[in-house]
Amino acid sequence: MENVRELIQIMTRRFGFLDRNCCSVGDTDLSLVQSHILYEIDRQHQPSMQQIAQTLGIDITTFSKQIQSLVKMKLVKKTPSPDDRRVSILSLTTEGTFIATMIDQEMNQYLEEVFGYMSVEEREMVLRSIKLLNANMAKSKKCCNPIGE
Amino acid sequence: MENVRELIQIMTRRFGFLDRNCCSVGDTDLSLVQSHILYEIDRQHQPSMQQIAQTLGIDITTFSKQIQSLVKMKLVKKTPSPDDRRVSILSLTTEGTFIATMIDQEMNQYLEEVFGYMSVEEREMVLRSIKLLNANMAKSKKCCNPIGE
DNA sequence: ATTAAATACTTGAATTTTTCAACTAAATTC
DNA sequence: GAATTTAGTTGAAAAATTCAAGTATTTAAT
């Protein structure tokens, strides 16, 4: 097998650069981690702290502090769960949703550019490949599942 | 276009987890960044500080300090360039090479597992796709090129 | 019903990492 | 040969991470 690791390293690094560059909206500057937190809160349904921390593989104490700053920045809201009062349900404020949307737009714009260089068939192939990769990485017990970190 | 960002986010996150889990060899614990630095020094030919810092998109002052700790850990060596005495050429020590090799092995082992779940055709498709992605991301001026950070 | 154990999260103090502004030293340019 | 640029360093401040210990609530065990 040719140098797969190298190919993947380059790819993930590039996406990493993209991610980092997409974290400033207006006068709000987010760290990479913070933008990922917003993204996940937006995506998941009434997530608890644990859930988001786990999907992102962030230690819960670090996460707790990150959420505190996001709350202070008025991007995230914490609501005690009625089912279990230990649990905090996370949600985005209006401003948080706005920021998340802006970031998402910028990311998509970039992705559209990149995919725009490809033919329709290539595009389909690439998407199929990514799905395949994701599915097969999920099979591995070794690591990489957000669960079992 | 379906949710490309989501697919990619999941993929890069998984590789990120992998990366993080692969940084301990024996009693040497490396941070993710440090393992990437070793990887790049190993890969490039007589690289300078600037070169590695730039490919990884790390600020040169942060990088300078990271290299200092790697030198202290005896994994990296700094040699003043004969051509330009401002420049430091980076190289791995024997132990550094060993660590880098071990990490590489573990990464490859994991990748082999993941690719092992695929058919030969799928594997080829995935690799072709990653190359295609890399090539097309390189075309974009917007970001993601290590240069222009 | 009461106690023990587990879970969800927080806090404070120590460490590490990152960042910024200012610096040295060598090389280039004018 | 003075001014500028480039490569890298340093110190002090800010941000992020980690660890050990804490609270509060829920679940399980007796």
CATH number reported for the structural domain that contains residue B100 in this entry: 1.10.10.10
Which of A1, A2, A3, A14 to mutate: most B Cβ within 10 Å?
Answer: A14
Beta bridge partners of B76: B92
Using a 10 angstrom Cβ sphere, with 0-12 exposed, 13-18 middle and 19 or more buried, the burial of residue B146 is: middle
Would A99 be classed as within a structural domain? yes
Would B142 be classed as within a structural domain? no
Is A147's Cβ below 8 Å from some Cβ in B?
no
pLDDT in the model for residue A38: 96
Would B139 be classed as within a structural domain? no
- A/B interface, count of CB pairs below 8 Å: 155
Is A148's Cβ below 8 Å from some Cβ in B?
no
Is A5's Cβ below 8 Å from some Cβ in B?
yes
Q: What percent of chain A has pLDDT over 70?
A: 95
Would B116 be classed as within a structural domain? no
Domain that holds residue B30: 23-104
Q: Report whether pLDDT(A149) > 80.
A: no
Three-state SS letters, A25-76:
ECCEECCHHHHHHHHHHHHCCCCEHHHHHHHHCCCHHHHHHHHHHHHHCCCE
Would A49 be classed as within a structural domain? yes
Q: Name which of A23-37, A133-147, B16-30 the model is least confident about.
A: A133-147
Which residues in chain A are closer than 8 Å to B117, comparing Cβ atoms?
136, 139
Would B132 be classed as within a structural domain? no
How many domains, chain A? Answer: 1
Would B84 be classed as within a structural domain? yes
For the four alpha carbons of B44, B55, B13 and B144, in that order, the dihedral sign comes to: negative
pLDDT in the model for residue A146: 47
d(CA A89, CA A25) in angstroms, rounded, equals: 25
Q: A140 vs B113: CB contact, 8 Å cut-off?
A: yes
Q: pLDDT, tens digit, for every residue of B12-27?
A: 999 988 888 777 788 7
Lookup: nucleotide whose C1' is closest to B81 CA: D7
If you average pLDDT over residues B94-108, what whole number do you get? 93
Would B93 be classed as within a structural domain? yes
Which residues in chain A are closer than 8 Å to B4, comparing Cβ atoms?
108, 111, 115, 127
Is A126's Cβ below 8 Å from some Cβ in B?
yes
Our measurement of the distance from residue B29's CA atom to the centroid of its chain's CA atoms, rounded to an integer in Å, reads 16
If contacts are CB pairs under 8 Å, which of residues 21-60 in chain A contact chain B?
A: 21, 39, 43, 56-57
